[in-house]
Amino acid sequence: MSLGQVSLVFLLQMALGGVVTELLGDRAALGPKYAKVSGWILAALLGLAMSLCAGALWDADATLNERWLALSVMAGAAGVLVYASFAGWDKPALELSGLVLALLGCGAAVGLSAGIGVAAAGGSPAWMLVAGAYTSALVLGFNTWGMILGHWYLVAPGLPIKHLARMVAPLPWVLLAKTVVSGAALWLGWSTVLGGEGSLSDLLARHPGRVIDVVNIAARVPVG
């Protein structure tokens, strides 16, 4: 995968995770200022993603998957713009509609972006890459938006701590799901990833220098 493709996948996963946290949060209690800040952060992420994939819409050589990916990103961006724009207007139905559109657009984009990984990973099962993409999105979303909300207490010091607790409560389960998916990927792709036949100790005994590969893989388990 190229740097541009990796960046696109990261931006889309981050945006999807952020949209999920917005849907699960108590938007009325957090207030319109928080909604606008969060919404414009999401808009920035999807704007950057569009800059990386929108060219497929008028590129004659682009694949159908790439065109649908660009359209999905545009739908997600439209949704977060609606959400951020109408926050504070006492229009909860419009806010929710924007978030639902963003969820559908970003969700489709993350799924379609897994096709990039399928092409790059060769023989890796498609389901494994798709599962990895969605669990990575949740890990990134709950981690990042938990941090954003945690810093929001500096702006709204009287905000009850229950909102932050609600944000981070799913994180252990999300991390567990990501660990299971990553463990399955490592198990199924053992020979491809590390070139190993036999146990990990056998591999390191034959090639001590490969320990850095093991460390790199272990470090990537939480975030894909």
**How would residue 77 be classed by pLDDT, with cut points 50, 70 and 90?**
very high
Is-contact 147 216, C-beta < 8 A? Answer: no
Average pLDDT, rounded, for the chain: 82
Q: How far is 68 from 76, CA to CA, in rounded Å?
A: 12
pLDDT on residue 40: 93
Three-class secondary structure of residue 159 per DSSP: coil
Q: How far is 56 from 64, CA to CA, in rounded Å?
A: 9
User: By CB neighbour count within 10 A (0-12 exposed, 13-18 middle, 19+ buried), where does 142 fall?
Assistant: buried
Q: How far is 109 from 53, CA to CA, in rounded Å?
A: 11
24 compared with 128, residue with greater pLDDT: 24
Q: Over range 142-154, report the average pLDDT.
A: 91
Q: Report residue 223: phi and psi, to 5°.
A: -120, 10
Tokens, residue 9: 């996948």
pLDDT beyond 90 at 79:
yes
Q: How far is 76 from 84, CA to CA, in rounded Å?
A: 12
